Structure 1
Amino acid sequence: MTQTDIIDLPLRGISCGGCAARATRALAALPGVIEPNVNPMTRHAQLRLDGATLAQVQDALTRAGYPAELTTTRIKIEGMTCGACAARIQRALQSRPDIAEAQVNLATRAATISHAPSVGAEDLADMITRLGYPARPAGTDAAKAPVHDTEARTLRADALRAGLLTLPVFVLEMGGHAVPAFHHWLHGLVGHQKLWLVQMALTAAVLAGPGRRFFTTGIPALLRGAPEMNSLVALGAGTAFLFSSVVTLAPGLVPEASRHVWFEAAAVIATLILTGRYLEARARGKAGEAIRRLIALAPDQARLIRDGKSVLVPTASLRPGDLVLLQPGERVALDGTVTEGQGHIDESMLTGEPLPVLKSPGDKVTGGTLNGGSALTYRVEATGADTVLSRIVAMVESAQATRLPVQALVDRVTRIFVPVIIALSALTLALWLAFGPGLAEAVTAAVAVLIIACPCAMGLAVPVSVMVGSGRGAELGVLFRRGDALQKLASARVIGFDKTGTLTLGRPSVSGIWTRGLTEDHALALMAAAEAQSEHPLARAILHEAEARALSLPRATSVRAEAGRGLTAEVDGLSLLIGNETALTEAGIAAAPALMDQAEAVARAGATPVHLAINGRHVASLALSDRLRPDAKTTVAALRAMGLRVVMLSGDVPATAQAVGAELGLDEVKAGLSPQQKLQEIRAMGAGTVFVGDGINDAPALAAAETGLAIGSGTDIAIEAADAVLISGESAGVVRALRLSRAVMRNIRQNLFWAFAYNTALIPVAMGVLVPFGGPALSPMLGAGAMALSSVSVIGNALRLRRAG
């Protein structure tokens, strides 16, 4: 991009000329931004960049309060074989001024790019393709076509062809070394010159056919000054082949003592690396099985009820409002609400909980879940990307594409690794020529260094563990909305819980009413009328009690809620205040002693008191009881056994919260907190803090915690603010999430250790440092085998995470 190219960005929050002027000033103050102009009518910013980046522009606009609406595109990439490939593509993408952020993932073979809306997906794919890595927008993939399977089939065919061509070369050369009689018979029958010519022809077929990819990708990358793994293989195998060809065709150019051929080394290197890549691709396919299993849960057809009869139609043709018949044993096609019938549905794919859930008219059903033995009819409410299953798949894919902070170290190493290896190979050649027995041994050692030092294992160490771990989380009912939550959660030291709906079931009921100067039914009807517009669990409990008593509710007006306190409203000309004791105190209302005595008694027993004041007079108190989740006590015990400090941060009255805390065995209870105070408490806890909540008032704390875990049965706002979602709604999901995150990080550390240790140990051996002490040199063939196995072992180790949790 040149300075004359204009970047056009839609902005959020622009509502007037003043907003536009502030946004323009924010852009103008950023060095490297030329001619910024924000139009308040179109709500777009236009600017030129000369030194600044789009990421800096977005940061400036966000600080000003008008963030740009950037587009996120996912690109599938072929031909990446190591961390150096991924790092090179990422650097090229991030060098474009109209790209704010790019993450290239070696394990998923994909790039996630945040960019200006004017940039097309095809443009991005073309740019990557021009770098030497064929790319296409992810949206062009078939919905259920596993890319790794196609790649594995291609590599399998190439490895088999290479193996068939390499076998005669290997037998002709190595068979003679293993069986001297065979060697003498063969050379007496044919002669070594003709044998070398046969080996040269077969090896050329291997390198020009199945092994061609190493040269078509590796040599151009080397010439561009950006060598990668294919460059190492091309240099190693190519050098061995060329040296052997010179010995075969023009032996006079090589000293007699060095006239050895290494055709079998070149052919075996290509064959082993192709075999390793095939095994790696197959293993990566297993790493992505979790998403494919999720996608496969959605049936392709459903029974649409049309004119009173069921008609089998494609699921993609269904629309919201359609009625669908669900036969026994069938999977639910799309999200909806049961309209007829009653039966159990297995939701284990969604929640990780094994027990089927009873569904009746009015209950929600989720696409992909499995019906039991009863026929049900449901009305479709969500299709396409709006379904729960689609959102889960999108979350998992997003988490898998995320680069963990630990990846930064790997990127720095792989960026310089290949050039360093080429330099070490050249140094090895020079040292062996100076101090070794001959040219052949020098070439062998240099080739061994090139082949042994593949950075594939290092590049795969982190992303493949994240990929498998995120998929396993989805199977366990733990959705990591951001992949870096896996790393942060593993270092947790304090876990803060909300109470209502998190440690308790969130379904409180009225267990007592006390009044002064009016009947219980009258007080309840007034409170229910005001609470009818609230989504709070306590409000629902009051409404349910009013419905159970068949009370007629008057109309409420001027309803205003204050989070963590209560609400005010006008009902039948009366001014109502409903809330906790703090709300009464702040309103200057004197608490009735008799009612407060009752409230304190129920609070000590673990219930929540709610007070009613009419026209500034305290006239009634209710007791709302909410049972603990069945697994809450075992969850707290398990977390403490894992070495974590467990705290409850509640907006409930202190006596109630303390009673619950004592029953659960919590380390600390902080109660009577407003959402702002919860936020302050979270910030005061410092690093390693996790917060678990479910309500709208928990959203600030979830966002402020180092890791926020939202109960999946909670509100959308809480879920959006969290780093991970516990779909089942069970508090035991917190333990599963922590165990999984620790397992993933332990797995990553193992992968990185072995990847780095492998190269640290074997590169010096390949260079020949052990030879002066009587130790062995490393054959290029053994180096190729070890290199191929290193990547497969890293993936194999990561696949163990499929049993984690």
Structure 2
Amino acid sequence: MTCAACVGRVEKRLARIDGVTAGVNLATGRARVLHPAGVPVAELVAAVERAGYTAEPLPAGAPVGVTAEEPDERWRLLVTALAAVPVLVLSMVPSTQFTAWQWVCFALAVPVVTWGSAGFHRRAWQGLRHAAATMDTLVSLGVVASFGWSAYALLFGGAGDPDMRMPFSLTADGGGAAHVYLEAAVGVPLFVLAGRLLEGRVRRRSGSALRALAELGAKQVCLREEGGEERLVPIELLLPGQEFVVRPGERVATDGVVVEGGSALDLSLLTGESVPVEVGPGDRVAGATVNVGGALVVRATAVGTDTQLARITALVAQAQAGKARAQRLADAVAGVFVPCVLAVAASVLGFWLGAGAAPQAAVTAAVAVLVVACPCALGLATPTAL
């Protein structure tokens, strides 16, 4: 998913199943689905796939899994920037234009429009196959329209003259001079790629709290069996009622009651208090707290998802999966934003052509609508900021 329009598509597709309600979070890439017992999970996954995306059930207690930064995306942004910046400078600063400058810009724009924007075109095509439009649709249309018109102007519209100069103008006319719009064709992918790379980093940091909580838990526990023998086993094998040993410097494996020994525990994980608290036989202890004193023997009272640490983690995950009122509003608006923008662009094109304007001015005005709207922060900034 790349924008709030994608979120709306997935939610609507899931809601078509009787008795199913779903809330999808763009920042975490998770869906919280309530469904009748008779609706299998496979049917929910199939509904998401029919919307053009993929999904899989999340294991209970799993931390937020945010994908690592893709090296290919960094390279794509770097190559796009190296090709786009000269085009932007030559197109926007007339004093830098030289003989056949527009053909140099055209050659630099080709890899940006094709390879650099390939992800936008692919996702836009996938959306069209599912009769849906997203922000990627606007990006793809804006890039293709501005590049296509520029190619036409270079080949057939007189802009291919090596001595052509394009003055800076605040209007579509530009004093009658030939115009190409390669700066829009390369600028939009550049800025959207940069924004999404930054957004991806924010998404990864948004899951750091859950990952940090998950890493606090003990991975192994030293069981004390009958006869006083001790055995080191994975924490998953610990059952309520079993006794385990906590040596100085170790973390308490799970919630329990002290049976033997006395020590001081660092409870800053739960209370924020940095001063260790003394505990002895009969005192309750929480998992993941640190033993800073003597050895303890603890009888487990809660394991797995029943521990305090697991409940804290679940609360944080629930908070990230939920939506604030502002985000729900942004998602609702984004669901109709793209179709409205496309309708406005088509209306603008038809209006100027019907008013007798030159095709260049009409296409320029329609492309301007797409170019201005496609990197809109509506669907990205709200979930990221929240």
Cα distance in 2, alignment partners of residues 373 and 289 from structure 1: 30
Within 5 Å, which residues of 2 pair with 1:311-390? Answer: 311-390=231-310
Contact kept in structure 2, 1:169 and 1:202, CA below 8 Å: no
Q: Which residue of 2 aligns with 1:170?
A: 85
Q: Does 1:276 align with 2:195?
A: yes
Contact kept in structure 2, 1:84 and 1:455, CA below 8 Å: no
Q: Which residue of 1 aligns with 2:75?
A: 160
Deviations 1:298-318 (A, max 9, x none): 022233335645444322232
CA shift in 2, pair 1:436/1:381, >3 Å: farther
Within 5 Å, which residues of 2 pair with 1:21-32? Answer: none
The gaps in structure 1 that reach 5 residues or longer are 1-79, 465-793, 799-805
Q: Which residue of 1 aligns with 2:59?
A: 139
Within 5 Å, which residues of 2 pair with 1:57-136? Answer: 80-97=1-18, 99-136=19-56
* Alignment equivalent of 2:342, drawn from 422, 425, 441: 422
Q: What is the root-mean-square deviation in Å for CA atoms of aligned residues? A: 3.3
Identity %: 37
Q: Which residue of 2 aligns with 1:608?
A: none
Deviation at 1:239, TM superposition (A): 1.3
Within 5 Å, which residues of 2 pair with 1:173-252? Answer: 174-175=89-90, 178=93, 180=95, 183-184=97-98, 187=99, 191-192=100-101, 194-207=103-116, 211-222=117-128, 224-251=130-157
Cα distance in 2, alignment partners of residues 401 and 173 from structure 1: 40
Cα distance in 2, alignment partners of residues 339 and 433 from structure 1: 86
Cα distance in 2, alignment partners of residues 293 and 101 from structure 1: 30
Contact kept in structure 1, 2:88 and 2:187, CA below 8 Å: no
The alignment's TM-score, normalised by the length of structure 1, stands at 0.42
Determine helix, strand or coil for the equivalent of 2:10: helix
Cα distance in 2, alignment partners of residues 296 and 281 from structure 1: 22
CA shift in 2, pair 1:353/1:453, >3 Å: farther
- The letter for the 2-side match of 1:234 is S
Say which one has the larger Rg. 1
Which segment is superposed worse, 347-356 or 295-304? 347-356
- The letter for the 1-side match of 2:211 is R
The alignment's TM-score, normalised by the length of structure 2, stands at 0.82
CA shift in 2, pair 1:261/1:139, >3 Å: farther
Q: Does 1:265 align with 2:180?
A: no
Contact kept in structure 2, 1:203 and 1:264, CA below 8 Å: no
Cα distance in 1, alignment partners of residues 356 and 81 from structure 2: 29
Contact kept in structure 1, 2:134 and 2:338, CA below 8 Å: yes
Contact kept in structure 2, 1:166 and 1:202, CA below 8 Å: no
Cα distance in 1, alignment partners of residues 311 and 320 from structure 2: 14
Determine helix, strand or coil for the equivalent of 2:320: helix
Within 5 Å, which residues of 2 pair with 1:517-596? Answer: none
Contact kept in structure 2, 1:100 and 1:115, CA below 8 Å: yes
- The letter for the 1-side match of 2:153 is V
Cα distance in 2, alignment partners of residues 195 and 137 from structure 1: 50
- The letter for the 2-side match of 1:89 is V
Contact kept in structure 2, 1:239 and 1:447, CA below 8 Å: yes
Cα distance in 2, alignment partners of residues 158 and 441 from structure 1: 35
Within 5 Å, which residues of 2 pair with 1:694-709? Answer: none
Contact kept in structure 1, 2:80 and 2:190, CA below 8 Å: no
Cα distance in 1, alignment partners of residues 224 and 134 from structure 2: 58
- The letter for the 2-side match of 1:203 is V
Cα distance in 2, alignment partners of residues 218 and 105 from structure 1: 21
Contact kept in structure 2, 1:337 and 1:381, CA below 8 Å: yes
Deviation at 1:205, TM superposition (A): 3.8
- The letter for the 1-side match of 2:66 is H
CA shift in 2, pair 1:140/1:274, >3 Å: farther
Contact kept in structure 2, 1:336 and 1:366, CA below 8 Å: yes
CA shift in 2, pair 1:246/1:455, >3 Å: closer
Deviation at 1:213, TM superposition (A): 2.2
Deviations 1:503-555 (A, max 9, x none): xxxxxxxxxxxxxxxxxxxxxxxxxxxxxxxxxxxxxxxxxxxxxxxxxxxxx
Contact kept in structure 1, 2:219 and 2:235, CA below 8 Å: yes
Q: How many residues align?
A: 371
- The letter for the 1-side match of 2:207 is G
CA shift in 2, pair 1:268/1:407, >3 Å: closer
Deviation at 1:456, TM superposition (A): 6.5
Cα distance in 2, alignment partners of residues 340 and 412 from structure 1: 58
CA shift in 2, pair 1:268/1:133, >3 Å: same
CA shift in 2, pair 1:196/1:455, >3 Å: closer
- The letter for the 2-side match of 1:316 is E
Deviations 1:44-78 (A, max 9, x none): xxxxxxxxxxxxxxxxxxxxxxxxxxxxxxxxxxx
Within 5 Å, which residues of 2 pair with 1:390-429? Answer: 390-404=310-324, 407-429=327-349
Q: Which residue of 2 aligns with 1:733?
A: none
